[in-house]
Structure 1
Amino acid sequence: MIDYYYCYTNNKSEIGKQCKFSKSKSQIVGRIEPNNQLKKKYMYKENINYNGENIKKYSEEYINIESVKLENKFFYHSEGGWTKDIDISEHQNKLKYIKRLDKDINLINSLKYLMNETTKIINKNNCINIYEEYFKDDIKNEEHFKIKSLLVIKDKLRKYNRFVTSIKWANDNTHKIAISYCVNNYQKVLNNTPKNCLLYNLNEINNPYQTLYSKSFIKCLKFNHKNSDLLLAGSYDGTISLWDLRKKNNLCESSSINSSHKNIVNDVTWLQTKTNNQCLSTSSDGLCLIWDIRNLSNHIESFYLNKDPADVSDLFEKSNIISNNLGGTLLVGNPTKNTLDEPTASKLDTSDDNYYSANYIEWCLEAGPSKILVGTDEGYILSLSKRQSKNLELLQKYGIPNEKHLSAITSIKRVSINLKYFLSTDKWGFNIWSEDIKFPIISNYYNESIINKGHWIHDSPFFILTRKDGYLDFWNILSNFNEPIIKHKICNSSITEIDAHTNNKYLSIGNEEGDIHILKLGKSFCTNSSENKNALDELLERESKREKNLEYIRKQLNCIKKKKEYLSFSDIQIQDQQVEETEQIYDSIRHN
């Protein structure tokens, strides 16, 4: 038998491609002649028939169940209370006896007395609803604090090692969430590093449904409290950005660098106006700027957070100590000018020494549209006021040098049960303040781990502290002042941001690796009884009264000390011999 074949060569890159056929005329490639020897070897085989069944077989059995025995029983009800003389079977005799009793005066008086007693009992019984549980709270149910991890949103650009800077939920009931990222040493990275923000919908979590592009890395985000389609952002280059999610293009409107902050915009917030077009931004340069989103080319108002003279004098003393250690001198008359060497002077010469460095804003419409709380790096909380047709003004400073935060304030949240009180956190602990008192009414500092953020759950006595070691601490001051009731492990990296949905059921946690963890809280965290609300309100009110009494005692002690110093100074008597000696010393100095 002749083998017919055709050999051809081709490149490896072209192998495996789709075959392409074309029409052509028929051609005879080869011809095979019949072979009689092979024909003789061919054998015919008969067909083999086989029958089989593929049906399940069932068996049938009869079983006698146990019989039920039925039995009829009868009850006979007979009348009682009749005397022996009366036959019950005769109806006429019973009627005569009843008429005789109706005319008896003793029976009538006894019935009146019994009716008064029975009516009281019946009225009490009618006041009670048989379908309502009156003693429901007496049954003590164990609280189950459930925390469920729903999903994790991974950063798809892990090669840049981005961390989460801000997470914000939309103010409406939708499950939309905005996320911003940044990288370490952002000033040294190349321009091709992505600086965009992502918008996710929890119903479709595989990919972001919208990408928002920015010119710089974003530090903070904030949705408009009236319109969730407007998203405000503060950038690392000192500008603010605005996105309108209703537009097709995802580019932002940014403010000009010349009219913006000198340093990073640490926080932004919307203000309550007639048109809802104004917003506030703060930075570590000590400047608060108010913007109109219809024209971001220039801010409409600026306000400097000036320090108190006592704080400035403390800063000068510290700078003098540093300069003496470095071998230089510092002029006390003008602290901005010094006589140090240039490299040493550049470290100490800070133009923002006279202003507080703001890093967090807390604004709540329910607490008052004009009330604004600002947290500073110095550990103080400043209360600002912005009224209609008036400029920003500083109302009060919370904290004194001995009773303030030990480091920069990382977050401020108002207590939703009573908006008069608010929570603030720093790296080492938390404080709870009242608007009426400059001192914290509740303080707690512990060295277990560094605290990054704090969040008070809406309409609940619980608040959450995020830690650098990846734990969430759930606190309830009604149960314990010193320890959290739950410590929940989220990840192995530092938690940088936290935010909660409007219904309190969902928490979003961001960490240094760029991951977003979505948690679902149990009913014990979300629902709150009226008794717990009243207990928390009474607790905070009692602590605030205690601090007011302590402040009054401090003032009285200071007055007593001043009086003693004045009396001791007036009682001093200078002798004539001492005066003559001092005059001789001055004369000798003048002659020399």
Structure 2
Amino acid sequence: MDIQYVYTKKRSEFGRQVHFTDRSVEIIADIQPNPELIKEYISRNPVEVAVQNAREFSEHWVNTVRFETENRGINHVEGGWPKDVNPLEPDQTSRFRKKTEKEDGYGRAILSLGQSIEHTIRQNNAIDIYENYFEHLEPDVVEEAPYAKTINIYRDPHNIRRTANHISWYADGPRKLAVSYCNLEFQSATSDSFIDSYIWDIENPTKPELYLKPISPLVCIEFNPKDTHQLAGGCYNGQVCIFDTRKGSTAVEQSLIENSHRDPAYKTVWLQSKSGTEFFSASTDGKVLWWDTRKLSEPVETLILDIEKKGRLENALGAMSLEYEPTLPTKFMVGTEQGRIISCNRKGKNDAEKIGSVFPGHWGPVYALQRHPNFTKNFLSVGDWTVRIWSEELRDDCIMWTKPSMHALTDAQWSPTRSSIFYTSKMDGTLDVWDILFKQNEPTLSIQVVDEPLHCLRVQETQGRLIACGSQNGTVTLVEVSDNLCVQGKSEKALVTGMFDRETRRAKILEARVRAKRDARAKSAQGEKGEKATGEVAPGETELREADPIEKAEKDFWKIIEEEKRKRDRKVVADDEKPAAETGAVIEEEGAATTTA
């Protein structure tokens, strides 16, 4: 049975002010304790209670469909005409305009409208509603800590595990990824292994958009920046091939095996040209080859990487990485298997003129090489366990370097939107974000992307927000970084410029000091031969001592330390001898007393 009670109220009392009055305390209910319940109570000993100071939150990510914008034009047509007048007919509009101008009220209406329009125009000229009044002020510092999150994971659909060696972004926005898959371990490739590579749509991680079927496993793949349907690939057997997404999965052009590399083609880079059909490739066979897609049967030009400039292939250094900046169309750099970095100029008439300066590089192969997007004189390289930043003005040493990592580094790239940030991938599956303005000894942010080695990374160039990382088992992970890692501050570029200039000057000073020390040692060695008999100090040695204040300061420091040690030792010896002397005196006194007695 439903119990209902209806509250009634007069209509005149709706909205009336409520008046509260004081009254005495009234006991509504009084429940006495039951003494029998105490027998059922059991005390708990010990009692553990956990108290959390902060609230507990659960974090959850959902992959939503990305919003795509589209630019559309609007056609504004002339309006305000009567229904019987077609605005597209000039005769009708001119006839109606003349008729209206002859009316008596036309002049008065124009004068009245003119005053209001004049006032509005003057107001618009006086106040700019689009002016940014705080443009000169520095932007507020973003207080939130930098972070990154995983957007998608693209797994190799084939059962055989292969390494994702190289990644290339689609040239017209972050929509597609081209990934080359190849197993480069020694004697690990078999004849029946799966050799396909893929083009992924970043919104669909379940299935590749297009299968690329080369004649040999692809070591590298690159989208053509001028024709986004074309891709250039370097194969494991040394050949290069061209794919066209409009013409299917197979290669439309490929080089002849006898005119190709003798080792895997590790890198292919498109050149800046009017036709957009030229690219060049590098391999560990010691050659750099230039190609034209219109005639891919043989290379257009060949360069042998012999740093002795004799053009001998047996002395050539194997190429592992390439660097090419479109703003410097004739210059390029090669990172070698032996750790050297070679700066080349294509304008040279022969191999000796094409090979320019050689940088010492790393102790192992140079896996990555890239010029700074904003400062073309500076570039970074990756090898062994460090990242080194170089300047073209110095050939003997780098200007900056990172602390050696516990795990080997495999790839690195500058951020295209922030001048002070670059990214590195490591063999423990970690993606590190370095901000050289913030700190140089350790990364600003470390992200554990996968539990297997990362072999490559590629940052999307237009926004700098998306990073694709390829792992040893063929997994490609798409990572999105926070705003403070991809939005550049106003003074950041100037600060990075000042840092590079300062470090370059420091390196030049140290290089000059080392050169002076080397010359002084050579002079002192020559002077010692002639002045050993007289016992005089060689003038070169005197100059070395005077010209090296650091060494003099170190000697003075250690001299002070040694003096302090001697003082402490003398004090300890004195303290040890004092009680012995007192004891001997007491014994002598007792002996004298005994004799007297």
TM-score computed with the length of structure 1 as normaliser: 0.65
Matched residues in 2 for 1:252 and 1:441: separation? Answer: 45
SS in 1 for 2:285: coil
Deviation at 1:244, TM superposition (A): 1.8
SS in 2 for 1:267: strand
Amino acid across the alignment from 1:414: R
Deviation at 1:131, TM superposition (A): 7.5
Aligned to 1:153: 154
Contact conserved, 2:174 with 2:460, CA < 8 A, in 1? no
Matched residues in 2 for 1:394 and 1:238: separation? Answer: 23
Judging changes above 3 Å, is the alpha-carbon distance between structure 1 residues 458 and 59 closer, same or farther for their aligned structure 2 residues? farther
1:441 aligns with 2:403: no
Alignment of 1:384-395 (within 5 A): 384-387=344-347, 393-395=353-355
Matched residues in 2 for 1:363 and 1:378: separation? Answer: 20
Uncovered stretches (5+) of structure 1, i.e. residues with no partner: 1-54, 70-125, 313-350, 574-592
Aligned to 1:233: 233
Aligned to 2:72: none
Contact conserved, 1:458 with 1:504, CA < 8 A, in 2? yes
Contact conserved, 1:453 with 1:496, CA < 8 A, in 2? yes
Q: 1:410 aligns with which of 367, 370, 373?
A: 367
Deviation at 1:547, TM superposition (A): 0.9
Amino acid across the alignment from 1:137: E
Aligned to 2:486: 526
Matched residues in 1 for 2:6 and 2:230: separation? Answer: 74
Q: 1:464 aligns with which of 395, 400, 423?
A: 423
Alignment of 1:261-272 (within 5 A): 261-272=261-272
Judging changes above 3 Å, is the alpha-carbon distance between structure 1 residues 422 and 246 closer, same or farther for their aligned structure 2 residues? same
Aligned to 1:175: 175
1:173-202 alpha-carbon deviations (Å, 9 max, x no partner): 251110111236585654443212211112
Contact conserved, 1:255 with 1:296, CA < 8 A, in 2? yes
Judging changes above 3 Å, is the alpha-carbon distance between structure 1 residues 210 and 531 closer, same or farther for their aligned structure 2 residues? same
Amino acid across the alignment from 2:138: D
Contact conserved, 1:199 with 1:209, CA < 8 A, in 2? yes
Deviation at 1:539, TM superposition (A): 0.4
- Which has the bigger relative contact order, CA under 8 A and spacing at least 6? 1
Judging changes above 3 Å, is the alpha-carbon distance between structure 1 residues 568 and 287 closer, same or farther for their aligned structure 2 residues? same
SS in 2 for 1:559: helix
Deviation at 1:391, TM superposition (A): 7.4
Aligned to 1:259: 259
Contact conserved, 1:271 with 1:369, CA < 8 A, in 2? yes
Q: 2:448 aligns with which of 470, 483, 489?
A: 489
Aligned to 2:317: 356
1:131-176 alpha-carbon deviations (Å, 9 max, x no partner): 8347853854414313121111111112x11121111101222511
Contact conserved, 2:223 with 2:232, CA < 8 A, in 1? yes
Amino acid across the alignment from 1:443: W
1:207-240 alpha-carbon deviations (Å, 9 max, x no partner): 2221111110111111222222210111110111
Matched residues in 1 for 2:244 and 2:139: separation? Answer: 53
Matched residues in 2 for 1:306 and 1:448: separation? Answer: 33
1:473 aligns with 2:432: yes
Amino acid across the alignment from 1:274: K
SS in 2 for 1:544: helix
Q: 1:454 aligns with which of 405, 412, 420?
A: 412
Rg (Cα) greater in structure: 1
SS in 2 for 1:263: coil
SS in 1 for 2:306: coil
Uncovered stretches (5+) of structure 2, i.e. residues with no partner: 20-126, 534-597
Deviation at 1:356, TM superposition (A): 1.1
Q: 1:536 aligns with which of 496, 514, 521?
A: 496
Q: Percent identity?
A: 24
SS in 1 for 2:166: strand
Deviation at 1:303, TM superposition (A): 1.1
Deviation at 1:417, TM superposition (A): 2.8
Judging changes above 3 Å, is the alpha-carbon distance between structure 1 residues 161 and 139 closer, same or farther for their aligned structure 2 residues? closer
Matched residues in 2 for 1:307 and 1:284: separation? Answer: 15
Judging changes above 3 Å, is the alpha-carbon distance between structure 1 residues 488 and 189 closer, same or farther for their aligned structure 2 residues? closer
Deviation at 1:65, TM superposition (A): 5.5
1:27-80 alpha-carbon deviations (Å, 9 max, x no partner): xxxxxxxxxxxxxxxxxxxxxxxxxxxx9x9977769567499xxxxxxxxxxx
Contact conserved, 2:304 with 2:351, CA < 8 A, in 1? no
SS in 2 for 1:132: coil
Deviation at 1:499, TM superposition (A): 0.6
Q: 1:423 aligns with which of 374, 380, 402?
A: 380
Contact conserved, 2:307 with 2:355, CA < 8 A, in 1? no
Contact conserved, 1:380 with 1:397, CA < 8 A, in 2? no
Q: 1:365 aligns with which of 308, 317, 326?
A: 326
Contact conserved, 1:432 with 1:440, CA < 8 A, in 2? yes
Alignment of 1:38-77 (within 5 A): 67=17
Matched residues in 1 for 2:146 and 2:532: separation? Answer: 69
1:216 aligns with 2:216: yes
Deviation at 1:388, TM superposition (A): 9.7
Matched residues in 1 for 2:353 and 2:6: separation? Answer: 94
SS in 2 for 1:410: strand
TM-score computed with the length of structure 2 as normaliser: 0.64
Amino acid across the alignment from 2:177: I
Contact conserved, 1:382 with 1:394, CA < 8 A, in 2? no
Deviation at 1:364, TM superposition (A): 1.4
Judging changes above 3 Å, is the alpha-carbon distance between structure 1 residues 412 and 134 closer, same or farther for their aligned structure 2 residues? closer
1:379 aligns with 2:328: no
Contact conserved, 2:179 with 2:199, CA < 8 A, in 1? yes
Judging changes above 3 Å, is the alpha-carbon distance between structure 1 residues 217 and 248 closer, same or farther for their aligned structure 2 residues? closer
Aligned to 1:243: 243
Deviation at 1:495, TM superposition (A): 0.4
SS in 1 for 2:214: coil
Contact conserved, 1:212 with 1:252, CA < 8 A, in 2? no
